[in-house]
Amino acid sequence: MSKDIRIPKGLTIKLKGTAEKILSDLPRSEVYTISPTEFHGITPKLLVKIGDVVKAGDLLFYSKTNELVKFASPVSGTILDITRGEKRRILEIKISADSSDSYKDFGSKDPLKMSREEIVSYLSEAGCFPFFIQRPYDVIVDPNDTPKSIFISSFSTAPLAAQDAYALAGQEQAFQTGLNALTKLTSGKVNLTVCGTENSFFDKLDQVEIYRIFGKHPAGNVGVQMNHIDPINKGEKVWTIKPQDVACIGRLFTTGKYDATRVFALAGSEVEKPQYYKAIQGASLEKLLNSQVKNTNTRMISGDVLSGKKMGKESSLGFYTNLISVIPEGNYYTFFGWMPFTQNQKLSLSRTFFNFLMPHKEYNLDTNLNGEERALVITGEMEQVFPMDIFPMQLLKAALAGDIDKMENLGIYEVAPEDFGLIDFSNTSKLEAQEIIREALDIMIKEVG
């Protein structure tokens, strides 16, 4: 039986252009791109060179600091190019793909009959540990660690978010097999959170503790859910993983193949026909974006509009991407933009505009900051949208000062940059809270370990 958790604070931002439940296959790309820079804190050690022939599932590189963290090729083909930046930093690995994939055979297995050590070795050789993200620090896990629990958030409350239940239609058994494997990796429970207002196959799974979450954004963030279910203390480690990655692990155990196929939503007010697409990680998105995004003055984002990363039309499908958001660029100035009658399309927490009288209104918001960075003053607006048992402004101040003791006392181990996405949107100081938290977490990794 599921347990109900109600998140009292937050803000729902309704944007135009939510993806319709239509699924199309993206045509196979000629070239697939893997970007080691997408994995924070990873220094890659190459296992391939230009001209090498690889199968889907063959290893491309591993982490210099932990050889168990390996990264596999999503397709079969030939290594076309290895792009390097300053100090020979590896930026991209390009693979000229075959017309159809041939897979490295890892052998099908039953995770319930395997030991933890066997599962760790199996997942490592198939390049699956990058799917797991550790709290604290929001970095890829160390497979040698045994986390006190594993969390999976099966839904997102972010603007324009993709629906994982729809994306995983027909993969229910693979998802269950993936869950079976996860139970062997933790000394505690595997916790699955589901949307309290919707029903799906997630409600009927075994080998998992199910929680029904009610609330506004960021109620769908796994960090917020942890804070209410199983908070992290100093010295403890919790792993998180996304639903589609659980299914990928399940397919690996069932078929013996590393199948990097994923479903993503292309959404936003600037998209001609917002819908879902199926593709393989690393696929080129240039043709899709050129056909679906007609306006040139747009911001394309890999992820949601609050915590995603800016991308160009020539970009490829990211390792973790299940949503691409496209909204208008905000490169303009509005004269007297603060006046109530000037901007009917703006959303304001302080009710500066009259749109609060229309709670179900969908907005066509852009990227305009409506001002520059200002003094950080106590207004209570951060606490209004931050539903964790943490003082966000005090934590940000401690992070800016680099005060390790204060950051520990104020809950730095429980947060990730995405938890501050709504603060970036709502706070009038215009501080980049997510960047501040990311830098603070990197300091903690260096100083505390």
Lowest mean pLDDT among 120-129, 311-320, 343-352, 368-377: 343-352
State both tokens at 365.
Answer: 């918001």
pLDDT of residue 370 exceeding 80, the answer is: no
**Cβ burial, residue 22 (10 Å; 0-12/13-18/19+):** exposed
Which amino acid would we find at residue 302? S
In the prediction, which pLDDT does 106 show?
Answer: 98
Q: Are residues 97 and 195 in the same domain?
A: yes
Q: Are residues 180 and 235 in the same domain?
A: yes
Lowest mean pLDDT among 1-5, 24-28, 115-119, 283-287: 1-5
In the prediction, which pLDDT does 371 show?
Answer: 77
Q: Are residues 68 and 133 in the same domain?
A: yes
Q: What is the mean pLDDT of residues 378-394?
A: 91
Reference 39, options 16, 65, 19; nearest CA is: 65
Write the DSSP assignment of 66-83 as a string of letters.
Answer: EEEEEEE-SS-EEEEEEE
In a domain, 404, yes or no: yes
In the prediction, which pLDDT does 344 show?
Answer: 55
In the prediction, which pLDDT does 116 show?
Answer: 97
In a domain, 226, yes or no: yes
In the prediction, which pLDDT does 347 show?
Answer: 75
Task: Tell me which residue range forms the domain holding 38.
Answer: 3-255
Summarised one tens digit per residue, pLDDT across range 6-18 is 999 999 999 999 9
Summarised one tens digit per residue, pLDDT across range 29-44 is 999 999 999 999 999 9
Among 255, 283, 315, residue at a domain's last position: 255
State whether residue 446 is helix, strand or coil.
helix
Q: What residues have CB less than 8 Å from 114, skipping those under 6 apart?
A: 122, 184
Q: Are residues 24 and 89 in the same domain?
A: yes
Strands (E), 139-259: 139-140, 149-153, 190-195, 209-215, 238-240
Cis-peptide into 359, omega within 30 deg: no
- Measure the CA–CA gap between 223 and 151, rounded to whole angstroms: 9
In a domain, 63, yes or no: yes
Q: Are residues 246 and 277 in the same domain?
A: no
Q: What percent of the chain has pLDDT above 90?
A: 83
In the prediction, which pLDDT does 360 show?
Answer: 74
186 half-sphere exposure, CB direction, 13 A CA radius: 25
In the prediction, which pLDDT does 339 show?
Answer: 60
pLDDT of residue 415 exceeding 70, the answer is: yes
Task: List phi, psi (to 5°) of 61.
Answer: -165, 170
In the prediction, which pLDDT does 294 show?
Answer: 85
pLDDT of residue 353 exceeding 70, the answer is: no
In a domain, 374, yes or no: no
- Measure the CA–CA gap between 104 and 241, rounded to whole angstroms: 24
pLDDT of residue 246 exceeding 90, the answer is: yes
In a domain, 359, yes or no: no
Q: Are residues 163 and 65 in the same domain?
A: yes
Summarised one tens digit per residue, pLDDT across range 67-100 is 999 999 999 999 999 999 999 999 999 999 999 9
pLDDT of residue 134 exceeding 70, the answer is: yes
In a domain, 371, yes or no: no
In a domain, 357, yes or no: no
Q: Which band of pLDDT confidence, cut at 50, 70 and 90, is reported for residue 356?
A: low
Q: In what order do the strands lie in the sheet with 77-84?
A: 31-34, 90-97, 77-84, 53-54
Summarised one tens digit per residue, pLDDT across range 254-289 is 999 999 999 999 999 999 999 999 999 999 999 999
Q: Which band of pLDDT confidence, cut at 50, 70 and 90, is reported for residue 228?
A: very high
Residue-averaged pLDDT of the chain = 93
Contact between 102 and 73 under an 8 Å Cβ cutoff? The reply is no
Q: Are residues 226 and 289 in the same domain?
A: no
Among 309, 341, 373, residue at a domain's last position: 341
In the prediction, which pLDDT does 337 show?
Answer: 61
Between 344 and 430, the more confident residue is: 430
Among 255, 284, 310, residue at a domain's last position: 255
Q: What residues have CB less than 8 Å from 79, skipping those under 6 apart?
A: 48, 49, 50, 51, 52, 53, 54, 93, 94, 95, 96
Summarised one tens digit per residue, pLDDT across range 137-179 is 999 999 999 999 999 999 999 999 999 999 999 999 999 999 9
Does an H or E element contain 233, and which? none
Helices (H) and strands (E) in the chain, counts: 11, 20
Q: Are residues 325 and 294 in the same domain?
A: yes
Q: Are residues 388 and 326 in the same domain?
A: no
Question: What is the crossing angle of helices 433-447 and 392-401, to 10°?
Answer: 60
Q: What is the DSSP letter of 303?
A: B
Summarised one tens digit per residue, pLDDT across range 311-349 is 999 999 999 999 999 999 988 777 666 565 555 567 777
In a domain, 149, yes or no: yes
In the prediction, which pLDDT does 363 show?
Answer: 86
Q: Are residues 77 and 11 in the same domain?
A: yes
In the prediction, which pLDDT does 343 show?
Answer: 55
Number of domains making up the chain: 3
Q: Are residues 250 and 272 in the same domain?
A: no
Q: Are residues 147 and 61 in the same domain?
A: yes
Between 296 and 80, the more confident residue is: 80
